[in-house]
Structure 1
Amino acid sequence: MKILVTGITGQLGHDVMKVLAARGHEAIGASRKEFSLTDFDAARAFVENAKPDAIIHCAAYTAVDKAEDEKDQCMIVNGGATRNLAAVARDIGAKFVYISTDYVFPGIGEEAYDVDAPKGPTNAYGLSKLAGEEAVQELLEKYFIVRISWVFGINGKNFIKTMLKLAETHDKLTVVDDQIGSPTYTADLAELLVDMVETDKYGVYHATNEGFCSWADFAKEIFRQAGKNVTVTPVPSSAYPTKATRPKNSRMSKASLDRAGFHHLPTWQDALSRYLRELEA
């Protein structure tokens, strides 16, 4: 298959390109160099010229707090640009994979959200990603919407890299413990996304590494596996006020993966272990 990937300089796009190459697909990578997502005409021309069989849309506006000050820009990138690419995919008959987020849910309670649970984003980023989902569902039949959370990969900034950096100068840290979710290793996720696009099992999916934890739990396990002697003190979110409201509950059900016969990703602890080895290498 010929597959176009947007956002190849980000954590996920980088790993998707690697998986496509390993499986013998013709991968066309797109970053800001190729076209700006907000230049709808340039984006359309690039995709029409490439004529891919599928588009894996990894590019997004992801600065969650900054989005509160740049609501329009965030909506143009995550909503408008996604609508534009989905329209091109429809016109050329390409499959479309849209990467969404746990932030489309209200983030309350303790139950894992199923794919069709009521939406209710609490910040500008979540609203913009939901707008992208709605555009994809409105325009396309051949789509995969894949919601992810707490992403980490080799190519970019993430929580693990931040914790390891802090461990160089701190032996005590306070970390939020009232936000619960699932870390997602882009190397594992990329394999699943390519599995999906190789099928016609269209629909909405949740794809994170298995298991739930708080950010404090995550930090403790990072330091344990990395052999860092850092004491983590759990604190409530109120200790670290942020511009954008963060969901307290980011648990997401994998039942849709089961129904379609897709595999679950390994546990987040296992993913962390392999990621630390990747960082070492």
Structure 2
Amino acid sequence: MKVLIIGSEGMLGHDLVDVLSEENEISTTTIDTLDITEIKKTIKTVKDINPDVVVHAAAFTDVDGSESHEDLAYKVNVIGTRNVAVACREADAALVYICTDYVFDGTKGTAYREYDQVNPLSVYGKTKYLGEVCVKEILNKFYIARTSWLYGFHGPNFVTTMLKLAENYDSINVVGDQIGSPTYTVDLAKAIAELIKKPIYGTYHLTNSEHCSWHEYAQLIFENAGIEIELKPVTTEEFGSAAARPKYSVLENYNWKMEGFPPIRSYKEALKDYMKLL
């Protein structure tokens, strides 16, 4: 297939290029070659490339920064996504829209399935959900891929942040009351590569299996790295951040399972493989 990856310079974008190019003809755009907030240019770019599938991995992803830059977050995550969806309609291309666990408020207490009620707490979560709304209103051929706690080689992430902090501090405070599923961008890219082989359109939760708190995640990172450091679990309130975050945002990969795909491997196994290559 011909696949266009929008946002190929990002952490996930890099791995999408590597993984999808194994079986598909790939075209890419970056923030420098396509401003998705410009509808005419977005439509022209997509129509000129004429892909079978567009993977929309461009977003304003600064969760706390979105609180103080609401207009920018809205412009990129909502208007930009609408523009990409319109361009896909014009080119008769299917769209993969990358979304987030932050569309949920975290009060369910068990893993969220794709059909559970959304209730985003932050500007970031709200704008990403409104992007979903645009996709559903404009297109019939789409895959909404909600994921969580991403890490990979081509961008800053929790793993590299922890390792950097350990270079300068003997003790680190880490939030202990937010639970989620750390997800390796390579594994997410592989799942997307499988999804787009079939016209099984709809919303999918795509994360590594199992879950943990940020504190437990940090413990495993340092265990894998062979670093001894004091990790102090703190509450979300004690830690303090501009944006509200869901306390329990584990995503059950329910639709993925119902389509007969094998479980995506544990975050523990994925993290170990990732850290071997750091």
Smaller-chain TM-score range? over 0.9
Q: Residue 11 of structure 1 corresponds to which residue in structure 2?
A: 11
CA contact 1:207–1:264 (8 Å) conserved in 2: no
1:201 partner SS: coil
1:172 shift after superposition: 1.8
CA contact 2:173–2:233 (8 Å) conserved in 1: yes
- List per-residue Cα deviations over 1:242-261 (Å, max 9, x = no partner): 11101101111111111112
5 Å-filtered alignment, 1:45-84, equals: 45-84=44-83
- List per-residue Cα deviations over 1:32-53 (Å, max 9, x = no partner): 1211121221111111111111
Q: What is the root-mean-square deviation of aligned Cα atoms in Å? A: 1.0
Name which of structure 1's ranges 238-247 and 214-223 shifts more when overlaid on structure 2: 238-247
Aligned amino acid, residue 22 of structure 1: E
Mapped pair 1:147 → 2:125: no
Aligned amino acid, residue 15 of structure 1: D
2:21 partner SS: helix
Q: Residue 265 of structure 2 corresponds to which residue in structure 1?
A: 266
Aligned-pair identity in percent equals 40
1:265 partner SS: coil
Aligned amino acid, residue 121 of structure 2: T
2:277 partner SS: helix
1:264 shift after superposition: 2.3
Unaligned 5+ runs, structure 1 = none
Q: Give the whole-Å Cα distance in 2 for the aligned partners of 1:47 and 1:109.
A: 39
1:209 partner SS: coil
Q: Give the whole-Å Cα distance in 2 for the aligned partners of 1:82 and 1:264.
A: 29
Q: Give the whole-Å Cα distance in 2 for the aligned partners of 1:66 and 1:103.
A: 15
Q: Give the whole-Å Cα distance in 1 for the aligned partners of 2:15 and 2:277.
A: 12
1:266 partner SS: coil
Mapped pair 1:248 → 2:247: yes
- List per-residue Cα deviations over 1:96-118 (Å, max 9, x = no partner): 10000011111213111111111
Unaligned 5+ runs, structure 2 = none
Q: Give the whole-Å Cα distance in 2 for the aligned partners of 1:91 and 1:224.
A: 50
Question: What is the TM-score with the length of structure 2 in the denominator?
Answer: 0.98
Question: What is the TM-score with the length of structure 1 in the denominator?
Answer: 0.97
Aligned amino acid, residue 102 of structure 1: D
Aligned amino acid, residue 99 of structure 2: S
2:117 partner SS: coil
CA contact 1:123–1:245 (8 Å) conserved in 2: yes
CA contact 2:99–2:128 (8 Å) conserved in 1: yes
Q: Give the whole-Å Cα distance in 2 for the aligned partners of 1:58 and 1:153.
A: 14
5 Å-filtered alignment, 1:58-207, equals: 58-207=57-206
- List per-residue Cα deviations over 1:113-142 (Å, max 9, x = no partner): 111111111110011001110111111111
Name which of structure 1's ranges 207-216 and 263-272 shifts more when overlaid on structure 2: 263-272
- List per-residue Cα deviations over 1:60-118 (Å, max 9, x = no partner): 01011111111121111111111111111112111110000011111213111111111
- List per-residue Cα deviations over 1:200-241 (Å, max 9, x = no partner): 111111011100100000000000011111121111111111
| Number of aligned positions between the proteins | 278
CA contact 1:178–1:248 (8 Å) conserved in 2: yes
Aligned amino acid, residue 78 of structure 1: N
CA contact 1:115–1:206 (8 Å) conserved in 2: yes
1:210 partner SS: coil
Aligned amino acid, residue 45 of structure 1: K
Aligned amino acid, residue 19 of structure 1: V
2:168 partner SS: coil
CA contact 1:151–1:184 (8 Å) conserved in 2: yes
Moved over 4 A (4+): none
